[in-house]
Structure 1
Amino acid sequence: MRGSPVPAPAERVALSDNDPDGRTDGHLRTDGDLALQRGPWWTLWWVRVLAVYVAARVVSTVILLSFAAGEGTNAWTSARPDYFTFANIWDGRWYQIVAALGYPATLPTSDGVHVTENAWAFLPGFPGVVDAVMFVTRLPWPVAAVLVSFLAGAGAALVFHRLMRRVGLSASQSLFAVVLFCVAPVSPLFQVAYAESLYTLLLVTALLLLVERRYGWLFPVVLAMAFTRPSGLAFALALAMHVVYRWVRRRRDPFPVRERVLGVSLAVFSGLAGLAWPAIAGIATGSWSAYTDTELAWRAPYIGFTDLLPFTPWFQGADWWASVMLGVPGWVGIAALVVIAALFGVLLFSPAVRRLGPDLRFWVVAYSLYLFAVFFPQSSTFRLLMPLFPLLGALALPRSRVYRIGMVLLFVALQVGWVAICWSIDGSDWSPP
């Protein structure tokens, strides 16, 4: 249920830079007039969004192929792999294993005690969708996986544009936000065999439904999200903040009993969905810590085998990166972490970010706290920051053409850097994306 009135079909609307179709003639027309006097097809908002998305994917393809051409023989591919082979390395191979073999009933260990890397870290949503596409199209896994990511990314770009319009950005600002979304430093993930593209489509859909207060539709989306990427607990926190915010403001913004019940139920449902996969892993393997032990295996090469203590991994990481990699005292890394966290907190209260509205900021805060609680910072950090994409709306506010061109060039350059550091393999690579 929407929390604010929706304009009736015959309601007159002002056409300006805020018009969804991007018209700027300043006249007043009814929605019926708009349908009759719409411009050429290439001026439609969704055509522009898809054009931006395709152009961005062409740029990313050139970047990926240029690095593939320089690849030598490695653990994943032969020398100079083709595009689809190169797009299916790293986690893509793990998802292929899940699709072909499922999950191990017995957790693998290195010494009979410590769990090693295994398929339980990779949720079944993405490989399940790719499996379905393979069944229908008879395409091989490498092609089907890239196709699913590409199409999901296109859908995410379309919904992201609607989300930006819904929170009040103008047509040009919303389109530029889409440009930044499509050329972001980790945007090559929209065309490789990773779950991020499908998850982003689900997440941006969930955020749009939340902003529009369509709680009933959120239940299936939240469930699908929770089985695509770990997210249920973070979204549950965002929903809890949303419910509290609406309760506090109920005198100015009515919060009917039905919406209260749905909102609270949805927050609880999201939390349970977030715990579902660890529970399934525990039942299937006979170890209730199967999922967390599996995830911890990926940080063992850095700091050894440890237990998961919430809100400690980033401090452990700051100490490791400072003392081991930079050769400076560990407290320097911890001090830098505190400063970065403080600056991020200030950013959330800046006018540009406040412009996005409370719900998107609730998500940014909730997901950031989730990462801070459980994630160990390493090369995958860039990828795991991807769900903070609503902040691109704040970067899209300035209208200066020089600024916008500069941002695009900067993001494309950072794409090259990300592929060089994280995706490309140089013999034995310790920096997975």
Structure 2
Amino acid sequence: MTAVQTTGAARLPVRSRLLLRWLRLPVAVRVLAVYVAARLFSAAVLAEVARFQPASTWTPANPGYGDLLRMWDATWYEQIATGGYPDAVPLGSAGDPQQSPLAFYPVAPLLARVLMGTGLSFGAAGALVSLLTGAAAAVGIEVLLRRALRERVGATAARRGAWSAAVLFCLAPPSLVYQVPYTEGPAVALLVGFLLCLQRRRYLPAALLALLLGLTRPVAVPLSVVVVVHLGLRAWAGHRDGTVLGGREALRGLGLLAASGTAGLLWPFTAWQLTGRPDAYTATMGAWRSGGEVVPLAPWWGVSQYVLGPVGPVVLVLALAAYVAWLCSARARALGPELRAWCLAYVGYLLLVLDPFTSLFRYLVLLFPLGALAGLRPGRRVPLTGWVVCCLALQVVWTAWLWRFSPPADWPP
């Protein structure tokens, strides 16, 4: 009888063999596996929260999972998907603009309308749009961050940072919005595609994605800052090396800058054309504000005082200064100038236009590049497993606190 020689892998414990098999899978497959597991967790949390949902304008008491998909802003997207937009700004008895679908962007509900042509309900179609675009965003985030980090921290650290960014995106406390008819999934997917194209200097596809983003969610304005930073760095590199940017590249870059600037104005202009009223979009947005109009910066000042009292504005200024200093630190430089420019410009944009409160948690998912920093400097950080446990716990809190509606009025998610 001859002896059978065992391999080193066969002698490993079962857990180690499973880990090796996991690590041998393509990284995109691993990201998708985490995304699917995260969505199953979110679905289980939402189904449990449904048991405690009282009757409301959206649902009966103790509704089913499908009923909860059509709550909050999903109602507006359903109106767009089934009936389109009004041809005039709805007005109240005093002539003041009322809340209407004009405040909501068309790409996500129109994609849902296409899927509804197959016989799906709006809830299922809108959820499917979010699920698929969220999955594309998760895979794209890993690719984007790995490329951005590699030349600054090395391949190993880049893989670790990119993996952290993708995992934390999948598990973020408000990540339920990747499986309900909301616009975060499509918006992040388009933003990631835009940044990948910019990273590879593919300016024409980037311009097209910027315009699509301008019809998906009101976050396109900061893109111009990112493009200016990118083109400025390209021009400086050419000057330093004694070369001049080629005419075609310069023209494509200027075209991208024009497209990114146009993207931020595209839906307000479209709303004007739909209704004949130049301020149709901003007037409608004002219907959600306590003063009836959008006032830059003032809501942040007022909310900080409401939450923290007289010291609130001081805390707000210090927090913003700390955020800027952190993004300018040596550790954050690993993200590269374009991603840091996005993280700064987007927060500046939120300061100018957002009426901050509970919806802020959801808006912050677009700061996904910051998740990469959780995977860098392994000797001086909270382990990724710690972040994962924290995100899962906060996801339960977010869903039970904000997605569940407590009549007669409640804070929005």
**Normalising to structure 1: TM-score of the pair?**
0.84
Separation (CA, whole Å) in 2 of partners of 1:41 and 1:383: 31
Q: Name the CA distance, whole Å, in 2 between partners of 1:181 and 1:126.
A: 20
- The 8 Å contact of residues 64 and 419 in structure 1, kept in 2 or not, is answered as yes
Q: Is residue 122 from structure 1 mapped to residue 104 from structure 2 by the alignment?
A: yes
1:4-403 to structure 2, matched below 5 A, reads 43-135=25-117, 137-167=118-148, 168=150, 169-252=157-240, 255-300=245-290, 304-306=291-293, 308-319=294-305, 321-322=306-307, 328-329=309-310, 332-399=311-378, 403=383
- Alignment equivalent of 1:420, drawn from 397, 400, 404: 400
Kindly state the Cα deviation for residue 398 of structure 1 after the two structures are TM-superposed.
Answer: 4.2
Distance in 2 (alpha carbons) for counterparts of 1:190 and 1:258: 39
Residue 6 (structure 2) aligns with: none
CA–CA separation in structure 1 for the residues paired with 2:303 and 2:92:
23
Kept in 2: contact 1:41–1:47 (CA 8 A): no
**8 Å Cα contact 2:374-2:382 kept in structure 1:** no
Paired residue type of 1:222: A
Aligned residues of 2:161 and 2:374 also touching (Cα < 8 A): no
Residue 187 of structure 1: how far off its partner (Å): 1.0
TM score, norm. by length of structure 2? 0.88
Ranges in structure 1 where 5+ consecutive residues have no aligned partner: 1-38
Gaps of 5+ in 2: 1-20, 151-156
Partner of 2:10: none
Amino acid at match of 2:265: L
Deviation at 1:315, TM superposition (A): 2.1
- Matches of 1:297 and 1:337, distance apart in 2: 26
**For residues 265 and 305 of structure 1, what CA distance do their matches in structure 2 show?**
36
RMSD of aligned alpha carbons: 2.1
The structure showing larger relative contact order (alpha-carbon pairs under 8 Å, at least 6 residues apart) is 2
Aligned to 1:406: 386
After the TM superposition, which segments of 4 or more aligned residues of structure 1 sit over 4 Å from their partners? 39-42
Name the structure where helix makes up a greater proportion of residues: 2
Deviation of 1:288 (Å): 1.1
Q: Give the distance between the partners of 2:169 and 2:187, measured in 1 at CA.
A: 14
Question: Does 157-166 or 251-260 show the bigger shift?
Answer: 251-260
2:161 and 2:226 map into 1 onto residues whose CA distance is: 25
- Distance across 1 between alignment mates of 2:382 and 2:327: 25
- Counterpart of 1:229, as a letter, is R
Deviations along 1:176-233, one digit per CA (max 9) or x if unpaired, are 3211111011111111110111111111111111112111211221111111101222
Post-superposition offset of 1:312: 3.3
Per-residue CA deviation, residues 332-352 of structure 1 (Å, 9 max, x unaligned), is 221121111111111111223
